Structure 1
Amino acid sequence: MVKAVIGGTVIAQAERDDLISLEGNLYFPPAAIRQGSLQPSSTRYTCPWKGAARYYDVITDGSQTHDAAWCYPHPHQSAVDRVGTDFSGYVAFDSREADILD
């Protein structure tokens, strides 16, 4: 089981086979994210090949970590084709804020 941990709190956990690795980041499936731990951020970014990203602040025991997670809700079809699987809504975590434990 792979876990994403921020501030001692497990934010996401999934089997390695359920994760998608992109550009050095592990993306967790939406169902693997701890409910109530992500709050939409106002940060906007568009990746030239993946499309528009959605950033999240991570909430842990009353603490908030700004822009510590992101996903691509509707990646470009060419990105899905390039990756070989649909990664819509899969969530990655900023390695400066989250520990990814295997």
Structure 2
Amino acid sequence: MPTASWNGAVIAQSDDTVVVEGNHYFPAESVDPAVLEDSATQTICPWKGTASYKTLVVDGARNPDAAWFYPDPKSAAAEIKGRFAFWKGVTVA
């Protein structure tokens, strides 16, 4: 089962991930909400749309903008709506 972890904590775990461009997108309900902190960061992907970010907070350590999601993806990326992906040292195995 794909598991995302950072700083010794499991961030997300699910058998229902969608892999896009090598990134596992986890269903929002599989992500531990206690480790997510709002971020104002947004980026634009030409084919997926506007991504929003969350900062991970585990045991007082912060990993800014290490989680991203597409609240309203373009139709070509509809399968990742309601899902989170991770980077910046988050291990997915």
Alignment match, 2:92:
100
The amino acid across from 2:91 in the alignment is D
2:74 to 73, 76, 80: 76
Q: Structure 1 CA distance, aligned partners of 2:82 and 2:50?
A: 11
Whether contact under 8 Å (1:40, 1:54) holds in the other structure is no
Greater strand fraction, Structure 1 or Structure 2: 2
- Pairs aligned (count): 93
Instruction: Return structure 1 stretches of 4+ with deviation > 6 angstroms.
Output: none
Does 2:80 align with 1:87? yes
CA offset at residue 31 of structure 1? 0.7
Q: Structure 1 CA distance, aligned partners of 2:27 and 2:91?
A: 17
TM-score by length of 1: 0.85
User: What do residues 49-87 of structure 1 show as CA deviations (whole Å, max 9, x unaligned)?
Assistant: 11110111001111110111100011012332xxxxx32
The unaligned stretches of length 5 or more in structure 1 are 81-85
Q: Structure 2 CA distance, aligned partners of 1:33 and 1:9?
A: 12
Whether contact under 8 Å (1:30, 1:89) holds in the other structure is yes
Alignment match, 1:83:
none
RMSD over equivalenced CA pairs, Å: 1.1
Q: Structure 2 CA distance, aligned partners of 1:6 and 1:78?
A: 30
The unaligned stretches of length 5 or more in structure 2 are none
Q: Structure 2 CA distance, aligned partners of 1:4 and 1:56?
A: 15
Does 2:10 align with 1:13? no
Residues 28-39 of structure 1 correspond to what in structure 2 (within 5 A)?
28-39=26-37
The amino acid across from 1:33 in the alignment is V
